[in-house]
Amino acid sequence: MAESTDLVTLTIDGVEVSVPKGTTIIEAAKQVGVVIPHYCYHPGLPVAGVCRMCLVHVEGTPKLQIACATPVAHGQVVEPYREDAVNARKGVLEFLLINHPLDCPICDQAGECELQDYVFHEGQARTRYTPDYAKRFNPVEDFGGDVLYVPNRCILCTRCVRFMEHVADDPILNVSERGDRAFIGVHADRNLDHPWSGNVIDLCPVGSLISKDFLHKARAWELDKAPSICTGCSQGCNVVLETRQGTVVRKRPRSNLDVNQFFLCDHGRLAYRWMNRGDRIEAPLVRHDGELIATDWDHALHDVAGLLGGSGGEVVVLASPGASNEALFLAREVAGDGFRGVFRVERVGDDVPLDGVPNLALRAERAPNVKGAETLGYGERGDLGADLSAASVVLVLGDALDGLDPTALDRVPHVVFIGTVLPEVGRVASAVLPTTNVAEEDGSFVNRDGRVQLYLQAKSGPGMARPAWWALGELLRELGRGDSPMSAADVFASMASTVEAFGGLSYRTLGTRGAPLGSGSTAAATA
Amino acid sequence: MGYPHTPHEKETVVLSKYFGDAEARSYDGWVQRGGYEALKKALGMSPAEVIDLVKESGLRGRGGAGFPTGFKWSFMPKEKSKPHYLCCNADESEPGTFKDREIMRWTPHALIEGCAIAQHAIQAEVTYIYIRGEFTEPLRIMQAALDDAYKAGVLGANAMGSGKQLDMYIHRGAGAYICGEETALMNSIEGRRGNPRIRPPFPAQKGVFGMPTTVNNVETLTAVPHILVQGTDWHKGLSLSNPKSAGTKLFSVCGNVARPGNYEVTMGFPLRDVIYEMAGLPEGRTLKAVQPGGSSVPIINREEAEACLLDYEGCVEQHTMLGSGGMIVYDDTADMVYQIMRLARFYAHESCAQCTQCREGTAWTVRILERILRGEGKMKDLDLLLDLGEQMTGKTICVLSDSCAAPVASGIERFRGEFEAYITGAREPSLAPA
Amino acid sequence: MMKETGTYEPVFTDDRRAKLDEIIARYPTKRAALLPALWLVQETHGWVSDEAMIEVAQTLFLTAAYVKGVVTFYTMYHQHPVGRHFIQVCTTSPCSLCGAERVMEALLEHTGCGDLGATSPDGRFTVVEVECLGACGFVTPVLIDDDFIEGVTVEQVPELLGRYE
């Protein structure tokens, strides 16, 4: 973006637009709803200008110009659809296809392939590269990590090479050889083992770099997509969860320039299988004659409300820092005056940064909502001993028991477990309430930088599982301390009216980009 | 001098005066022949004065593009805030061209002197002389001359006693035609693949190592000392036709000629005299076609060649370009289809692989031409070649792709009958030269 | 993955390391010494192996993949071992017009290489066709190792080869 705020006014496809000085034509065109076809250009990478797909006519210049590298100018008239520009792009598409195997039926990229899309829009119906000529052939290569390289589909746009060189700052991909013999190469000394290298799969505009994890798993058009937040660490990368028939089959970055730009680390990318696990609690359980037995929600809520109402002592909420703000807030409300909230968080090694992007890393802190828990009054504990021994009831929220000493809960009079999968330690619980996971509900997290971000439901939960906020909201009603909330947004609204840091924020204002804690307050809004 | 022959009487020998004179190679020999007087004079002038002088002389780049040298220099920042660089383009790789090779082989100090003057004019501390890797002999000779120039105090911390730091290093190429393109050359110096860069930024703003840079061809730089010594009027006077083209130019005449070699003539000299009188056609042959400026320029036929005056404008008038002055002569025995295929194969081999049209288009062009030579071509292939040529022209980062298309299109236009003979079967298929 | 050969001899020790340091000093970046470093490798080993690319990468703070991208761009770096004498013969248009292909065929025949790019059974020669040697007026130019020989004719080929053991 230009340093100066000077605006430049130009005309693109007959529409006048003003953009900051220094903007390129390709970005300015987006402002008027024109996507100029392109392959090598990507807003997260340095400009290469090599695919020559984004050629447009600029009045007064003898040659067609590449929109990705040509800055806007006052009074400039850009005609992306003039005959000479369309013909030039037609030519590029024909060149790109002469060696292409046209194996779309077995290509994972089919349906989300920019080669298919642009040929559909602007290509020619027939090739003049007759079958008399052999096509270039190179075998499929395993680049390591999650990445397979199918060189025959490669259009040499070099996005992957530029990502590794300029964004990851670890050039382990290259362009090898010259002319039409060129391909994307590696050196035998190293796999594509950089912890952020999976991004080359998303960056590849065609089916040349593909995910081994996703290989032949689904057709692009069968996928349902929901915006979500990665739970792999406290960075809060924006992601899309892609499901096929109720199963998460792929997790990809969703662009957010304030958080992860366009990228997602491999740890986060591949950590989605747990969302599909089959050993879930599917019905509320209550203890009866020493045994946990399945029951319905009404009975379970009634029993739990009885435990809480009759406890008289301190209610400790042992929460997972992966629980939503909504669940953490309502758990606090349920605990009432005797509330004490604690959480534990796993830390692994050091942050693993993506060098080319400021403030982006796989964080050592491996939970998505530590900041949210802290903001809502929960405290981190290394040793839970003192906290738990004083409690009359421990409300366990989410996967908060992982790795806990099996005897830790022995002396607690009552344990209520609210979560997705019951671990061995949790079997001492007096009641178990089944909840949905991050893929199965709406909710919000606060990332390490204090940014509140929403995630939306991608698939349905198993059996009778309900969002934790629902279960906790119903408990509040049972306890006579509130009405049932209708949605996660409702819960957020009451949290915003109670907790100052969330003040003024709402699901509507957060949208798909999120907003910093405190930014919704009147003071911040007028600042 | 029509090196390797005795000079023809119609030549104007300036740069080639000492070709073949082994004594001119040494530092002492060069000084005895008036060498380094021009540098001494230049160092006594301000950089701006040197630039103005070269501007005034009308000297234009001899590498192919013909851009006015003094203007190019004037694009460099006047106020120095960071290092400036001069790159001497000695990557002479344009088929048909072998003049820079002879300049370096016979008069290495002439080039060093030219570089040093340019370096002073653009306020560069360092010159990199980029010599193609195959030029083993010029590499040895230039290195020896540089060593001598350092020893003699011409170069180094106090160049010619001027108090100025002038350093000069040879950077050896390693087999890539495209490194003769100035931005590719800079990438190659930086230790990268020789990929041309998109412009802007232009080298004078952001060149090698991201610093202001000027790239000049060997012949251009070698012409500079003469301008300093003999003056701008002398140089401007070396013009037989259009005053915008001045000075002498080396033409590397090759292909079907009796006496191939470098012929130095004044700008505007008739092409026909170079071919018929100087180089001469082989016994009993007639002229069919010429590429006057290297393999990248359009092929012209005999009529056009005979009417062509050798300067930037004269060549354009005859539908071609002066280019590098590598004059490829085709006589009546030449198989134009094979030769054009051979040129296309050169470009397909040398394409850097960046731009789609070039990477795919050059290789496709070769395949079509080979098919025609095999006797399997179709008439519509000729239109396809012309259409691919359109797609390959004016649409890429550099002009390699245009350079492949130019001889193909101009060749089909002028010698369509030869192509059709292969297609109809009137001519025996053959993938070997005639 | 890289096979452990255990036989790789580092290039940049002692004199060659000093030579490289001197070259590095000519440029503002270490990367710029890549082409010269690869020339030193080839002078020492006769070709640029994967192991050598790793050594160069470590020496200049690059990655081996980066080095490989550069090596494969420039045709004069050998990516495979070649014969004791490496012969490059020009057959581009100006030379082709004067019969350079016949010189190339004579070289293939008299070296016993048979095919372009192949090494003769005795390991003595490798012949390649090269795109323009920049000596179009001295047909046919042939580069044998670092010896640039002008005006080679078919008849001269046997005698010429005799000079290289």
- Integer Cα distance of A169 and A355 in angstroms: 6
The residue of chain C nearest to residue A173, with distances taken between CA atoms, is: C65
Q: Which tens digit of pLDDT belongs to each residue from A267-325?
A: 999 999 999 999 999 999 999 999 999 999 999 999 999 998 876 778 999 999 999 99
Q: Provide the β-strand partners of residue B361.
A: none
Alpha helices in A74-214 (DSSP H): 83-98, 114-122, 159-162, 199-203
Size of interface B-C (CB pairs under 8 A): 152
Residue B433: predicted pLDDT: 80
The shortest CB-CB distance from C64 to any of A165, A175, A190 is to A190
Query: C-alpha distances in angstroms, C104 versus A60, A175, C90, C96?
Result: 51, 31, 8, 10
Sheet holding A209-211, edge to edge: A141-144, A147-149, A209-211
- What ipTM does the predicted assembly reach? 0.95
Cα of A193 to nearest chain C Cα, Å: 13
The one-letter amino acid at A335? A
What integer is the mean pLDDT of B330-344? 97
Residue A407: predicted pLDDT: 81
Per-residue tokens: A60: 């007064």
At B275, is the secondary structure helix, strand, or coil?
helix
Is C92–B342 a contact, with Cβ atoms under 8 angstroms apart? yes
Q: Which residues of C touch B176 (CB under 8 A)?
A: 73-75
Q: Provide the β-strand partners of residue A443.
A: A455
- Integer Cα distance of B382 and C115 in angstroms: 32
Q: Is any Cβ of chain C less than 8 angstroms from the Cβ of A171? A: yes
Cα of A232 to nearest chain C Cα, Å: 29
Q: Which residues of B touch A98 (CB under 8 A)?
A: 360, 364
| Other residues' Cβ atoms within 10 Å of the Cβ of residue C156 | 15
- Integer Cα distance of B170 and B182 in angstroms: 16
- What are the φ and ψ backbone dihedral angles of C142, each rounded to 5 degrees? -135, 135
Q: Which residues of A touch B391 (CB under 8 A)?
A: 88, 91-92, 94-95
Residue B81: predicted pLDDT: 94
Is A176–C2 a contact, with Cβ atoms under 8 angstroms apart? no
Q: Which residues of B touch A47 (CB under 8 A)?
A: 198
- Integer Cα distance of C90 and C130 in angstroms: 5
The shortest CB-CB distance from B362 to any of A52, A63, A179 is to A179
∠ CA A31-A36-A38 to the nearest 5 degrees?
A: 130
Looking at A130-134, A395-399, A462-466, B391-395, which range is the least confident one? A130-134
Is B101–C134 a contact, with Cβ atoms under 8 angstroms apart? yes
Is B364–A95 a contact, with Cβ atoms under 8 angstroms apart? yes
Percent of chain A with pLDDT over 90: 87
Q: Where residue A519 falls among pLDDT bands split at 50, 70, 90?
A: very high
* Burial class, C52, CB count within 10 angstroms (exposed 0-12 / middle 13-18 / buried 19+): buried
Residue A410: predicted pLDDT: 83
The shortest CB-CB distance from B356 to any of A51, A63, A69 is to A51
Q: Provide the β-strand partners of residue A185.
A: A174
Instruction: Return the closest-CA partner of residue A395 out of A417, A377, A421.
Output: A417
Residue in B352, B355, B378, B386 to test binding to A, most A beta-carbons within 10 Å: B355
What integer is the mean pLDDT of A103-115? 96
**Do the beta carbons of residue B244 and residue B268 sit within 8 Å?**
no
Mean pLDDT of chain B: 96
pLDDT higher than threshold 80 for residue C52: yes
Residue B2: predicted pLDDT: 59
Residue A225: predicted pLDDT: 97
Cα of A174 to nearest chain C Cα, Å: 5
Q: Where residue A80 falls among pLDDT bands split at 50, 70, 90?
A: very high
Q: Where residue C1 falls among pLDDT bands split at 50, 70, 90?
A: very low
Q: Which residues of C touch B177 (CB under 8 A)?
A: 131-132
**Do the beta carbons of residue A138 and residue A151 sit within 8 Å?**
yes
Query: C-alpha distances in angstroms, B88 versus A69, A143, B40, B100, B106?
Result: 28, 40, 20, 11, 17
- Integer Cα distance of B207 and B182 in angstroms: 9
Instruction: Return the closest-CA partner of residue B195 out of B204, B205, B186.
Output: B186
The shortest CB-CB distance from A63 to any of B176, B350, B394 is to B394
Cα of A142 to nearest chain C Cα, Å: 11
Locate tokens 């990229």: which residue?
A109
pTM exceeding the 0.80 threshold for the entire prediction:
yes
Cα of B329 to nearest chain A Cα, Å: 28
DSSP for residue A526? H
Q: Is any Cβ of chain C less than 8 angstroms from the Cβ of A173? A: yes
DSSP for residue A427? G
Per-residue tokens: A166: 């300029």
Residue in A169, A176, A186 to test binding to C, most C beta-carbons within 10 Å: A176
The shortest CB-CB distance from A189 to any of C54, C69, C70 is to C54
Is A128–B384 a contact, with Cβ atoms under 8 angstroms apart? yes
Residue A311: predicted pLDDT: 67
Residue A390: predicted pLDDT: 81
Residue B3: predicted pLDDT: 81
Q: Which residues of B381-397 are buried (b: 16+ CB within 10 A; e: fewer)?
A: bbebbebbbebbbbbbb
pLDDT higher than threshold 80 for residue A526: no
Instruction: Return the closest-CA partner of residue A449 out of A166, A310, A260.
Output: A260
Q: Which residues of B touch C31 (CB under 8 A)?
A: 190-192
User: H or E element: which one contains B382?
Assistant: helix B379-391
- Integer Cα distance of B141 and B404 in angstroms: 33
At B413, is the secondary structure helix, strand, or coil?
helix
Q: Which tens digit of pLDDT belongs to each residue from A122-178?
A: 998 888 998 888 898 999 999 999 999 999 999 999 999 999 999 999 999 999 999
Q: Which residues of A touch C63 (CB under 8 A)?
A: 170-172, 187, 190
Per-residue tokens: B150: 């350092």
The residue of chain A nearest to residue C62, with distances taken between CA atoms, is: A171
At C6, is the secondary structure helix, strand, or coil?
coil
Is C72–A190 a contact, with Cβ atoms under 8 angstroms apart? no
Residue B134: predicted pLDDT: 97
Q: Where residue C3 falls among pLDDT bands split at 50, 70, 90?
A: very low
Cα of C27 to nearest chain B Cα, Å: 8
Q: Which tens digit of pLDDT belongs to each residue from A172-228?
A: 999 999 999 999 999 999 999 999 999 999 999 999 999 999 999 999 999 999 999
- Integer Cα distance of A410 and A425 in angstroms: 9
CA dihedral A7, A10, A16, A21 (to 10 degrees): -20
Per-residue tokens: B49: 């004065």
**Which segments of A450-491 are extended strands (E)?**
451-455
The shortest CB-CB distance from C131 to any of B96, B193, B346 is to B346
Q: Where residue A2 falls among pLDDT bands split at 50, 70, 90?
A: very low
Looking at A384-398, A477-491, B7-21, which range is the least confident one? A384-398
Is B173–C38 a contact, with Cβ atoms under 8 angstroms apart? no
User: H or E element: which one contains C158?
Assistant: helix C157-162
The residue of chain A nearest to residue B177, with distances taken between CA atoms, is: A178
Q: Is any Cβ of chain C less than 8 angstroms from the Cβ of B127? A: no
The shortest CB-CB distance from A189 to any of C2, C69, C72 is to C2
Mean pLDDT of chain A: 94
The shortest CB-CB distance from C72 to any of A170, A171, A177 is to A177
Q: Is any Cβ of chain C less than 8 angstroms from the Cβ of B395? A: no
CA atoms within 13 A on the CB side of C104: 21
The shortest CB-CB distance from B357 to any of A92, A99, A178 is to A92
* Burial class, A78, CB count within 10 angstroms (exposed 0-12 / middle 13-18 / buried 19+): buried
| Other residues' Cβ atoms within 10 Å of the Cβ of residue B230 | 15
Query: C-alpha distances in angstroms, A230 versus A159, A233, A268, B212, C25?
Result: 24, 7, 6, 45, 48
Q: Where residue A527 falls among pLDDT bands split at 50, 70, 90?
A: very low
Q: Is any Cβ of chain C less than 8 angstroms from the Cβ of A509? A: no
Instruction: Return the closest-CA partner of residue B168 out of B150, B186, B152.
Output: B150
